[in-house]
Structure 1
Amino acid sequence: MIKLTVKREKFAQYFVEKGSASDAYTLAFDVRPGAKRQGIRADASKLLKDPNVKARIEELRERVRRRHDMKVEHLLAELDENRDLALAERQASAATQATMGKAKLGGFLIDKAQVDVTLRGMADRMRQRKQARAAEANEASEEPAE
Structure 2
Amino acid sequence: MLLSLQNAGLFQTFSPYGRLTILGRAQNMPPLNNNRHEKFANEVAKGVRPADAYAKAGYAATARGNDVCASRLLKDVNISARVEELQERAATRTVVTVAGITEDLLRIAAKAEALESPAALNVARNAKMDAAKLNGLVIDRKEVGAPGEFDDKSVDELRKIVEEGAKKFAGVPFLKEMH
Q: TM-score, normalised by structure 2?
A: 0.41
* Structure whose residues are more often helix by fraction: 1
* Structure whose residues are more often strand by fraction: 2
